[in-house]
Amino acid sequence: MILVEHDLDTIRRADQVIDLGPGAGKEGGRLIGQGSPAELCNQPESVTGRWLAGVERMDPPRARRKGRSSIQFSGLGTHNLQIPKVKIPTGVWVGVSGVSGSGKSSLVMDSLAAALKMHLAGEQGSANWKRFKVGETVDRLVVVDQTPIGRTPRSTPATYCKLLGPIRELFAGTLAAQERGFKPIRFSYNGAVGRCVTCEGRGVLLFEMHFLPDVWTECPDCKGTRYNRETLEVRWRGKSIADVLKMRADEALAFFINQRKIVRGLQALVDVGLGYLELGQPATTLSGGEAQRIKLAAELSSRRGHCVYLLDEPTTGLHLQDVRRLVGVLHRLVEKGHTVITVEHHLDVLWQCDVLLDLGPGGGEDGGRIVGAGTPESVARKNTPTGMALRGAAVK
């Protein structure tokens, strides 16, 4: 049996572990450790080995934040939910825990998300709850999931994080561009004037295969650069617009260090652990975890009002190294005044939350009730599946 796995308890039960890394993308792909879990602990190059040995760890925050206000439901009965009253604090990180089928997604994604959308649209009423009240102003609702940031190669980290606009302005401001009358639109691969006519700015061509998945191949004319020859002749600090899109986020951060509008978004990409991604990397090549973190990076560089962020099991598919970065990002969002609500099973992440709402005690008809509410420490004292698991994690 061969498993691709990140859970340390599962890895500890393996007979043999193969550890790849040390990083992601071009920084990975090497064998950095192999052997039994105990042997891996003594291999210093193994990132997973350091977590197994306890050299790397996530300690709970020293203090829990207090909610500014609350979002309240009464008579909540979506799917299997049987909740007479619940207060979800705002201005903090709220974790929603419980066994599979206990009603976590029903509470957060099917009830809270729907109610907030109606609230922001000025609408009221639902057959799934009797009363819904928001105790403070909510300006935006953002559901951060692992769905793609786009379905075609036109969508990239640069476009999603709104980096391409200010980069195009820099190129349009060069002497070479001004002499030729090039405007910022010239440096957009979505605009007809500056892009490659063969691939229409995609950099690749789509071949439809009968009875097989479609295939994307590099454009033979622009060689994947997306632009025509005249556009590529314009340089900013010796680089063409295609050269910039081939840069990794961490390389671009150093290159544009004095450009404040661009640096903010690039720094956010680096902060969420995506410094290895190319700015022009097509969305079709990104994993679900990468897409999720790109969305978070875009939010980190945003400065608009009080936002409620909803995340459904955001650690799915992430190594503990990446989980730690994600935890840091979520704490930063709360420190900026936002509300973060996560459906989660990962015990290390649950210990990071300010407040837990634990659903259960079982799944399906045996769940749908709140069996614990408060700080992780208070939930850990309860004899619920989550409480006992939290106690066990704390002992480790």
pLDDT at 396 over 90: no
Which segment of 136-145, 342-351, 387-396 scores lowest on mean pLDDT? 387-396
- 63 assigned to some structural domain: no
My answer on whether 384 and 292 are in the same domain is yes
- Contact call for residues 194 and 231 (beta carbons, < 8 A): yes
- Give the β-pairing of 93-97 and 339-343: parallel
Average pLDDT over residues 118-139: 95
What is the residue range of 375's domain?
A: 69-146+286-395
pTM across the whole model: 0.90
pLDDT of residue 94: 98
The first and second tokens of residue 223, run together, are 């060689």
CA-to-CA dists, residue 210 to 45, 152, 361, angstroms = 46, 20, 50
My answer on whether 189 and 303 are in the same domain is no
- Contact call for residues 87 and 70 (beta carbons, < 8 A): yes
- Contact call for residues 219 and 204 (beta carbons, < 8 A): yes
pLDDT in tens, 42-86: 999 999 999 999 999 999 999 999 999 999 999 999 999 999 999
My answer on whether 306 and 317 are in the same domain is yes
DSSP state of 297: H
- pLDDT band at residue 301 under the 50/70/90 scheme: confident
My answer on whether 292 and 375 are in the same domain is yes
My answer on whether 212 and 227 are in the same domain is yes
- Phi first, then psi, for residue 374 (nearest 5°) are 145, -160
My answer on whether 194 and 267 are in the same domain is yes
CATH code, domain carrying 247: 1.20.1580.10
pLDDT of residue 26: 80
Domain stop point among 253, 284, 315? 284
Residue listed under structure tokens 């890895």:
11
Average pLDDT over residues 313-327: 92
Query: What's the structural domain count of the chain?
Result: 3
- 365 assigned to some structural domain: yes
- Phi first, then psi, for residue 56 (nearest 5°) are -105, 135
Euclidean distance between the first and final Cα of the chain, in Å?
27
CATH code, domain carrying 344: 3.40.50.300
